[in-house]
């Protein structure tokens, strides 16, 4: 198992112990438009990566919304896109919160099968 994979699975294990089953979100950079925090759905996407290059602030909005929730929603954010970059200050805020993990890549099937994961943020509509 790769080192980053171990870190991801440890984060999910800890989240399950602390917050329970189905408490965590898996976010992959396949977002074509922002549908609000409750665009979290239970349908995984195995499509190609997409980063909202015209409105990258949407990613920041989603992450800040998750960090500011009164009831924590732990999350893994896999950028998975060569254009997917998160501001270093925001990365530090995520790390300091203990609520999130930002990775370049995640073992998607393993993450989706983990009992801690109950939410996914995926592209919900074709931009065309």
Q: Where are the domains of the chain?
A: 3-99+111-121
pTM above 0.85, yes or no: no
Percent of the chain clearing pLDDT 70 (strictly above): 71
**What is residue 67's predicted lDDT score, i.e. its pLDDT?**
95
For every one of its 128 residues, what pLDDT tens digit does the chain have, with 9 covering 90 and above?
788 899 999 999 999 999 999 999 998 865 433 333 444 433 333 344 556 667 778 888 989 999 999 999 999 988 766 666 788 999 999 999 999 999 888 898 999 999 999 998 765 444 54
Structure tokens at 83: 């254009």
**What is residue 97's predicted lDDT score, i.e. its pLDDT?**
96
DSSP 37: G
The tokens 């270093």 sit on which residue?
88
The tokens 């080192």 sit on which residue?
3
**81-90: long-range contacts at Cβ-Cβ below 8 A with a sequence spacing of 24 or more?**
81/29, 81/49, 81/50, 81/51, 83/51, 83/53, 84/29, 84/49, 84/51, 84/59, 86/59, 86/60, 87/60, 90/60, 90/63, 90/64
**What is residue 45's predicted lDDT score, i.e. its pLDDT?**
38
Structure tokens at 65: 């919304």
**What is residue 82's predicted lDDT score, i.e. its pLDDT?**
64
**What is residue 100's predicted lDDT score, i.e. its pLDDT?**
95
Q: Are 12 and 111 in contact (CB under 8 A)?
A: yes
Phi, psi dihedral angles at 91 (to 5 degrees): -60, -45
Q: Are 67 and 94 in contact (CB under 8 A)?
A: yes
**What is residue 119's predicted lDDT score, i.e. its pLDDT?**
92
């Amino acid at each position: 198992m790769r080192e980053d994979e171990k870190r991801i699975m440890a984060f999910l294990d800890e989240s399950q112990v602390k917050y329970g089953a189905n408490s965590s979100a898996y976010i992959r950079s396949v977002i074509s438009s922002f549908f609000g925090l409750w665009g979290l759905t239970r349908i995984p996407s195995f499509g190609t990566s997409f980063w909202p290059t015209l409105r990258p602030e949407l990613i920041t909005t989603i992450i800040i919304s998750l960090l500011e929730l009164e009831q924590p929603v732990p999350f893994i954010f896999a950028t998975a896109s060569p254009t997917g970059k998160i501001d270093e200050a925001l990365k530090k805020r995520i790390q300091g919160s203990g609520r999130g993990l930002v990775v370049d890549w995640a073992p998607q099937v393993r993450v989706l099968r983990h009992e801690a994961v109950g939410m996914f943020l995926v592209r919900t509509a074709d931009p065309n």
